Amino acid sequence: MRPSSSPSDGLLGGLSGTSDVDAELSDPAVLQAMLDAEAALARAVADAGIMPAPAAEAIVARCRAERYDPGALGRAADATGNPVVPLVGELTAAVPEHHRAWVHFGATSQDVLDTALALVAVRALGPLLRHLDTAVDAAAQLADAHRDTVMVARTLGQQAAPTTFGLKAAGWLTGLAEARDRLRQAGVAQPAQLGGAVGTLAAYGPAGADVAERFAAHLGLPPSPLPWHTRRQPWLDLATALGGLLVAAGKVALDVGLLAQNEIAEVAEGGVGRGGSSAMPHKRNPVDSVLVTAATRRGPGLVATVFAAAVQEHERAAGAWHAEWEPLLDLLHVTGGAAARCARMLVGLRVDARRMRANLDATGGVLLAEAVAARLTPAVGRRAAHDLVTRAAAAPSFRAALLADTEIRAHLSDTEIAEALDPHRWLGSAGRFVDRALVAVRGADG
């Protein structure tokens, strides 16, 4: 388990996480979630008429994390392979002797820890999704404000043709919004776990299924149709959604980092005093882009571990279940940090529309070669048009070469060449795509 402090309190943890998400992932938070599961169990068993109500009340009253030492529980867990066993021992000792037999009644360690991690995930997703909402809103504002701001589109690392910054931002927006939808769905689908030793809930007799439903209701989690001790789809859905968000945020970060390069300088991260270098006073590094990118490098390994652990034997796994705990917490940690930094990056992003246009014009109109070829094609055919324009594009001045080429001039006038070289006339459906993205996201939010 993690140290008692929040992951963001350490020397490096604050660079990958964010304090509000990490507060839900700290050792005290995980411990409280385990105790919440024990309290809900007592209530559910009492509701079913199996446990005396005073026993349930005594157990619930002692399910407060501040009564217990996470570090000591973690050290004691080495003897049993999980921290639930020593926690149950301490909780039992804290309860009056005549109620002790009812502590953890009918449950197994995995029930408590799986349910606790489901609670932790749901609680951590609250602040994480708020950061994501901010990022989505900021991307929407950028797409709206720059719907018609022309810039260079780049493919395979090279300048390709005109596009708009609004369309680029709309792509960020759509990726983030889709990731948000998947993460919300995964969050609300995290079920409580209660199956007892082998998934039969035999200790409760025929009331077992009812106890499981009451248990989930007390926790505010959905019940599972049957125990999922070795059916790990809830974790797979959560890991996939978190990994997808890292990809969506990473796309934004990568684009921002490339566009912020000095040679391009079309955007810059905001924030006074951010991005300094220890060696070079002139540098202003895109630190949010860098840190989000770092998170995307960690995510795939964590997701892969969750998937690798998902094939589990018989009714309870030996080792595979244990392998899930820390990767799940780490995945929530790095994804929370990425969401917060992506939001800050987009909210403060400075867009230089003049520089975008200057970069577009720097190649003398050659980025409109496709537009010129399209105008020539009806007259000379596609292959001939492509060859004529390719020849002109190799000249020092594309515009001058077009105007001087007699074969091209036989079919295109000065006005037609000028129109073909106007980037605003070669944007296709860019504006409509931006509008669609905005309607889709704002309509869903509304």
Known catalytic residues are 277, 316
Task: Give dist(CA 172, CA 189) in Å, integer.
Answer: 26
CB–CB of 117/323 below 8 Å?
Answer: no
Alpha-carbon dihedral sign for residues 203, 205, 208, 211: negative
User: Which tokens sit at 180?
Assistant: 């948000």
User: Which tokens sit at 321?
Assistant: 């279940």
Give the largest Cα separation in the chain, rounded: 104
Residue 42: partners with Cβ closer than 8 Å, 6 or more residues away? 51, 55, 56, 59, 60, 102, 103, 105
**Per-residue H/E/C for the chain:** CCCCCCHHHCCCHHHHCCHHHHHCCCHHHHHHHHHHHHHHHHHHHHHCCCCCHHHHHHHHHCCCHHHCCHHHHHHHHCCCCCCHHHHHHHHHHHCCHHHHHHCCCCCCHHHHHHHHHHHHHHHHHHHHHHHHHHHHHHHHHHHHHCCCCEEEEEECCEEEEEEEHHHHHHHHHHHHHHHHHHHHHHHHCCCCCCCCCCCCCHHHHHHHHHHHHHHHHHHCCCCCCCCCCCECHHHHHHHHHHHHHHHHHHHHHHHHHHHCCCCCCCEECCCCCCCCCCCCCCCCCCHHHHHHHHHHHHHHHHHHHHHHCCECCCCCCCCCCHHHHHHHHHHHHHHHHHHHHHHHHHHCCEECHHHHHHHHHCCCCHHHHHHHHHHHHHHHCHHHHHHHHHHHHCCCCHHHHHHHCHHHHCCCCHHHHHHHCCHHHCCCCHHHHHHHHHHHHHHHHC
Residue 406: partners with Cβ closer than 8 Å, 6 or more residues away? none
